Amino acid sequence: MNLIIDAGNTKVKLAIFKKAEIIHLETVATYDFVEAVKKTFKDFPQIKSAIISSVGSLSKEQINIMAVFCDFYELSNASKVPFKNSYASPQTLGVDRLALATAAFYYKPHSNILVIDAGTCITYDMVNDFDEYLGGAISPGVQMRYNAMHDQTAKLPLLEKKELLDYIGNTTENCIHSGVVYGVSHEIDGVIDLYKGRFKDLTIILTGGDALFLSKRLKNTIFADSKFLLKGLNYLLEYNKH
């Protein structure tokens, strides 16, 4: 069994893989990480290896606690990857994007795949049919746009995403919702159209915390998989064992 740890800005996902299948998944706050790890190894003593992907939210002390329980690998932008990395500044490439590119590589080898991760930020990552990672784009995520309008103005309220009945907002709150939700949706569709113009037979994967919320609003055909990054991390763990 493998333990896959994906540490975001405020939350940490812990997934247990038995071969390629997720048999357990939980999300905890960063400050509960150590206790969650202890409980995980108590409940699943068969875990032999682990990988940690952290965007910087976990301290070195929290990460190093893993050595008490099993062999673990901390993902970095210097890690081995199964594809050709053509990113011009690989030392600045986020480990989450490495994992997504890896998941794309194994999902459909020798194919053009665009992975869109709709989380705190929205990232676009392209792997082409030569198994080459090209890069992509980064833009503000859904909640970040709500936060920005509240933080950068004097009177606009802080809202959270909601379903909309009409794109024409008839209150200030509905106008904010419309601007964010339809703005993000049309951005994603527009980016997909740009990539379709360059890459034939393009497969689009949508993942991240807002994937399901956004998927029904997109005109393009996409495959929504909320566990895509975790699968990429599991592949990377296996790849770096050898």
> Is 171 one of the annotated binding-site residues?
no
The one catalytic residue in 32, 43, 71, 96 is 96
> Is 120 one of the annotated binding-site residues?
yes
> Is 95 one of the annotated binding-site residues?
yes
> Is 6 one of the annotated binding-site residues?
yes
Q: Do you know the residue count of the chain? A: 242
> Is 7 one of the annotated binding-site residues?
yes
Q: Which long-range contacts (CB under 8 A, 24 or more apart) does 196-204 make?
A: 196/220, 199/112, 199/114, 199/126, 199/128, 199/129, 200/112, 201/111, 201/112, 201/129, 202/112, 202/113, 202/114, 203/107, 203/108, 203/111, 203/112, 203/113, 203/114, 204/113, 204/114, 204/116
> Is 119 one of the annotated binding-site residues?
no
H helices present in 65-171, as ranges: 95-107, 142-151
> For the stretch 147-180, what's the b/e string if a residue is b when 16 or more beta carbons lie within 10 angstroms of its beta carbon?
eebeeeeeebeebebeeeeeeeeeeeebebbbeb
> Is 60 one of the annotated binding-site residues?
no
225 CB-near residues (< 8 Å, 6+ apart)? 205, 206, 207, 211, 231
CB 76 within 8 A of CB 45: no
> Is 71 one of the annotated binding-site residues?
no
Let me know if 193 is a catalytic residue.
Answer: no
> Is 203 one of the annotated binding-site residues?
no
> Is 108 one of the annotated binding-site residues?
no
> Is 34 one of the annotated binding-site residues?
no
> Is 11 one of the annotated binding-site residues?
yes
Cα–Cα distance measured from residue 48 to residue 235, given in angstroms and rounded to the nearest whole number: 15
Active-site residues: which are they? 96
Known binding positions for substrate: 87, 94-97, 172
Q: Write out the binding residues for ATP.
A: 6-13, 120
Binding positions: 6-13, 87, 94-97, 117, 120, 172
